[in-house]
Amino acid sequence: GAVVSQHPSRVICKSGTSVKIECRSLDFQATTMFWYRQFPKQSLMLMATSNEGSKATYEQGVEKDKFLINHASLTLSTLTVTSAHPEDSSFYICSARDFSRGGRETQYFGPGTRLLVL
């Protein structure tokens, strides 16, 4: 089946540094990818929609200058957490939308990236 990968799976960084997370669709092309954030024992909260070749659209309350998204190819979207602080520590999950299977849209999720900012 379709696979979406994320790298790294976990990262620890110092406060003030920037961290880049990659999301790849491995066997299909995705013009649209999504980035979610999840705190412990909570649900997934949509942060932004990543569109190939154009600017990402951010949900209300999500700082676009803080969470930089780049979707430079049909199989790769990156999320960069700039000047990370301890409150940015969270589980970040991406998903990719696939239209190639019989015309029915399916959204596949990556395994997530655990970010810990010290």
Partner 1 sequence: TQLLEQSPQFLSIQEGENLTVYCNSSSVFSSLQWYRQEPGEGPVLLVTVVTGGEVKKLKRLTFQFGDARKDSSLHITAAQPGDTGLYLCAGTFGGKLIFGQGTELSVKP
Contacts to partner 1 by CB under 8 A = 4, 6, 34, 41-46, 49, 91, 93, 95, 106-107, 109-112, 114
For residue 115, the minimal CB distance to partner 1 (Å) is 13
The Cα 27–Cα 48 span in angstroms is 23
Q: Any idea of the CA torsion for 63, 45, 30, 89, to the nearest 10 degrees?
A: 60
Token digits of residue 27: 């066997």
For residue 10, the minimal CB distance to partner 1 (Å) is 8
DSSP at 26? S
| Closer to partner 1 by Cβ: residue 14 or 41 | 41
| Closer to partner 1 by Cβ: residue 8 or 111 | 111
For residue 17, the minimal CB distance to partner 1 (Å) is 23
Closest residue by Cα to residue 48 from 38, 60, 40, 39 = 60
Give, in degrees to the nearest 5, the angle at Cα 36 between 35 and 40: 150
Closest residue by Cα to residue 90 from 109, 66, 63, 117 = 117
| Closer to partner 1 by Cβ: residue 59 or 83 | 59
| Closer to partner 1 by Cβ: residue 82 or 89 | 89
For residue 110, the minimal CB distance to partner 1 (Å) is 5
